[in-house]
Structure 1
Amino acid sequence: MVAERRDVNGEFLIFTYGTLKKGFSNHPLLQDLIRSGDASFVGNYATAVEYPLVCGPYRVPFLLNLPGAGHRVHGELYSVSTRGLARMDELEGTSRAHYERLPIKLVPVDGNEKEGLTCAEAYYAHRNYAMEIWKKNGKRGFGCYSEKEAIGYVKRKDRPQHLTFLDHIRLFISD
């Protein structure tokens, strides 16, 4: 049985696989949301099927909506309020076509596979450039954004400010 994309309290279930995870550069946003009561950690999960997880410009991680390609991706699941979700959407640039928030099916990685599938949402690379990033990565990805994959990550504030994120993506793809 597949659960809804919201938890029992009506909160959104959001799967994080990159810089929002514990120990990475954007996790302070989730820490703020947890402190304000707008998010809570649910557990460690993996995608139920394989997806490509790749890096783009500045070692920014992207989950690509190409089920069946890549690896089962490991990450963290959070329960997030509507207010918290708005802050996450802003960070991920959903209104600017950086990422798009779409459904994803997950399984817990703590060995409790009997729990079954969990439906959540994840931030995928926007469909406008996802296939080009997949090709740029040689159609190879990885199963977990770890410290190894994050080597060379450049924080947003340290990137050239005269270019938009989409400009950075276009340059990365064409390079």
Structure 2
Amino acid sequence: MHRVFVYGSLKRSQPNYPYMTDSNNGKAEFLSTAVTVQKYPLVIATNYNIPFLLNLPGQGKRVNGEVYKVDEKMLKYLDWFEKVPTMYQRTVVELEVKMANREENLSPGSIMEAFVYSTTTYQPDWPSLPTYDNYDSNGDHGLKFVLREDRK
């Protein structure tokens, strides 16, 4: 089993969350909410308003998200879904636990590592875009996520 940190459209109540719960893709079990130990730029970019975590540690904000325990099948699915290695890369990030599932022996304030999908491939202006500490497709930013099936 692997730990994966999601910060964007795959979080609960976000547009792509159903992919996390579809057993055809593998198994994903919610473990905790967490925030990155380091700051990263979380930006919303492209015509589809996709959230991207730029792999620029030390810049941006500490990013909030959710940690899931996933099986090998789900990890492979997420690699495909996130277009690794062309769009995103899967790397390891340090996280501070916020709210935890007691069964996993995680406590608020503890530090853990998990995989994250971040990108080093982006447009030159992306690092100057507004950064966020928490993504919500329906946020005040007004940049509603465009689902894959609605993209032209």
TM-score computed with the length of structure 1 as normaliser: 0.75
SS in 2 for 1:109: strand
1:3-33 alpha-carbon deviations (Å, 9 max, x no partner): xxxxxxxx11100000000011110111114
Residue 132 of structure 1 deviates from its aligned partner by 4.1
Counterpart amino acid of 1:49? Q
Residue identity (%): 32
5+ residue gaps, structure 2, are: 100-106
1:90-119 alpha-carbon deviations (Å, 9 max, x no partner): 111114x11111110001113721xx2101
Counterpart amino acid of 1:61? P
SS in 1 for 2:117: strand
5+ residue gaps, structure 1, are: 1-10, 161-175
Residue 67 of structure 1 deviates from its aligned partner by 1.1
Quick check: which one's strand share is greater?
A: 2
Q: Answer yes or no: is 1:46 the counterpart of 2:49.
A: no
CA contact (8 A) 1:50 1:70 kept: yes
Q: Answer yes or no: is 1:112 the counterpart of 2:101.
A: no
Residue 152 of structure 1 deviates from its aligned partner by 2.4
Quick check: which one's helix share is greater?
A: 1
1:133 maps to which of 126, 135, 142: 126
Residue 129 of structure 1 deviates from its aligned partner by 1.8
- How does 1:1-175 map onto structure 2 within 5 Å? 11-33=1-23, 38-57=27-46, 58-95=48-85, 97-110=86-99, 112-113=108-109, 116-125=110-119, 127-129=120-122, 132-135=125-128, 137=129, 140-146=130-136, 147-148=138-139, 149=141, 151-160=143-152
Counterparts in 2 of 1:74 and 1:82: CA distance versus 1, 3 Å: same
Aligned CA RMSD, in angstroms, stands at 1.9
1:106-141 alpha-carbon deviations (Å, 9 max, x no partner): 01113721xx2101110002x232654213x1xx30
Distance in 2 between residues matched to 1:130 and 1:106, nearest whole Å: 27
Counterpart amino acid of 2:146? V
CA contact (8 A) 2:26 2:72 kept: no
Counterpart amino acid of 2:61? H
CA contact (8 A) 1:64 1:130 kept: no
1:40-96 alpha-carbon deviations (Å, 9 max, x no partner): 10010110111110001111000011111111100000011111101111111114x
TM-score computed with the length of structure 2 as normaliser: 0.85
SS in 1 for 2:116: strand
